[in-house]
Amino acid sequence: MAMQDINQGKNTTTHTYQGLGPSLLMPTWLMIGIFLVLPVLMMLVYSFLTKEFRGGVIWEFSLNAYDQFIFDRGLFGDDPPKMEWTYIGIFWRSILQAGIATLLCLLIGFPTAWFIATRVGNSKSIWLFLITIPYWVNLLIRTISMKFLIRENGPANEFMMSIGLIDAPLQMINTNFAVQLGLFYSYLPFMVLPIYASVERYNFSLSEAAADLYSSQWVTLRKIIIPTVKPGIIAGCILVFVPSLGAFLAPDLLGGAKSFMIGSLIEDQFGGQAGNWPFGAAVSMILLSMVLIVLTFYARLQSRRAS
């Protein structure tokens, strides 16, 4: 196999479909190139255009969208610029909430993944199946279910009151707590599955060797297991952090007006009355850049591991 991989001889016929690569990839290139790469480039262009008031743009170069993100120039745009903290604040809170969600998911997800991966035979398949189902269930429906559960007069409050834990319903819905819970709940399966895949490949004789060399279980966990399954942990963290950062459903359905996240801010520029396409495009570009930075960092880590 290794030999074939480096096989670059000019007269090579090793691969069954040698030479057909580019044509077989043509549909992929066309589809993703035209309908994703081109749109993203166009979005970049739009972020430098002038807004039109009922949505859309005027084809005139302008830095207003980015300027608006950072500076406040008053209602008519002619006051001296002051720092505008609203949008930076939204970004900061989004990063914080996505980070907390990632941490919480890791805290619950790692032991779960480990537990499932160490089951044997049929019971393992059943556990895995149970954890996979929520992964496939519509995110909208899951978020609605959560909304239903934690409403003011919802089952969660009712239950806690009936057992005497609280006297009056807790205000959970429309709070930052609800958004946090929603993010954690939405992306928890995304943490479990990649870690599970890593633990599956873990060679348990490493643990035995550690134990044989007088390591306690927790030391083994810290010094042997976690470093070994790290690729899975990092993959899981990215799979939770990235979508959390751009989440729209959880803040929109569970959070109130004060729990704006980046996703809601972007949606507002295209769906709501405040429609400002160049600003929406600019915010999207900033979000995309942040995600690409995270992913590049991840790719670096991976390639360093590989080499």
Partner 1 sequence: MSLHETNKIAIDVDNVTKRYAEVTALKNVSLSIHDNEFFTLLGPSGCGKTTLLRTIAGFEGISEGDIRLFGDSIIDLPPNKRPVNTVFQQYALFPHMSVMENVAFGLRRQKVVDSEVRKRTGEVLELVQLSGFADRLPSQLSGGQQQRVALARALAPRPKVLLLDEPLSALDLKLRQDVRVELQQIQANTGITFVFVTHDQEEALTMSNRIAVMSAGIVQQVGTSRDIYESPENKFVADFIGDTNLIDVEIVETDGRQATCLLLGNVQLICNNAKGATKGRASLSVRPERLSLGDASNSSLSGTVSRLTYLGTDIHVAVNLEDGEVIDVRVQNSEDARIPDTGDIVGLNLELDAARVLMN
Partner 2 sequence: MNAKIDIRRFPGFSFATYLCLFLLYTPLIIVMIYSFNDSKSIMLWGGFSFRWYEDVFWGLEAPKFKQAAINSLSIAIGAAVTATTIALSAAVAMLRAGHFRGKGASLGLISLPLMVPEIVTAVATLIFFSAIGFASGHATILVAHIVFCIPFAYLPIAARMQGIEASYEQAAQDLYATRFETFRLVLLPLVLPGVISGFLLAFIISLDDFIITNFVKGAGIETLPTAIFGSVKQGIKPNIMAISTLMLLVSVVIVTLSYFANRSGQGKK
Per CB under 8 A, does 250 bind partner 2? no
Residue numbers 7-66 binding partner 1 by CB under 8 A = 7-14
Return the C-alpha torsion angle 226, 231, 234, 239, nearest 10. Answer: -130
Return the half-sphere exposure (C-beta side, CA atoms, 13 A cut-off) of residue 3: 2
Per CB under 8 A, does 232 bind partner 2? no
CB count in 10 Å sphere of residue 174: 19
Among the candidate windows 62-70, 78-86, 226-234, 281-289, which touches partner 2 by CB under 8 A? 281-289
Site string for partner 2, 18-47 (x = CB under 8 A): xxxxx-xx-xxx-xxx-xxxxxx-xx--x-
Amino acid at 182: G
- Residue 258 DSSP code: G
Contact 280, 266 (CB under 8 A): yes
- Least separation in angstroms between CB 24 and partner 1: 18
Question: How far is Cα 210 from Cα 207, in angstroms, rounded to an integer?
Answer: 5
Question: How far is Cα 289 from Cα 284, in angstroms, rounded to an integer?
Answer: 9
Residue 174 Rama label (left phi>0; alpha psi -120 to 50; beta): left
C-alpha torsion sign, points 124, 129, 130, 131: positive
Among the candidate windows 3-11, 102-110, 127-135, 138-146, which touches partner 1 by CB under 8 A? 3-11
- Least separation in angstroms between CB 99 and partner 2: 16
Among the candidate windows 67-75, 79-87, 138-146, 228-236, which touches partner 2 by CB under 8 A? 138-146
- Least separation in angstroms between CB 23 and partner 1: 17
State the helix-helix crossing angle for 38-46 and 277-306, rounded to 10 degrees.
130
Per CB under 8 A, does 111 bind partner 2? yes
Per CB under 8 A, does 307 bind partner 1? no
Site string for partner 2, 75-94 (x = CB under 8 A): --------------------
Per CB under 8 A, does 115 bind partner 2? yes
Q: Which is nearer to partner 1, 6 or 257 (CB)?
A: 6
Binding site for partner 1 (CB under 8 A): 3, 6-14
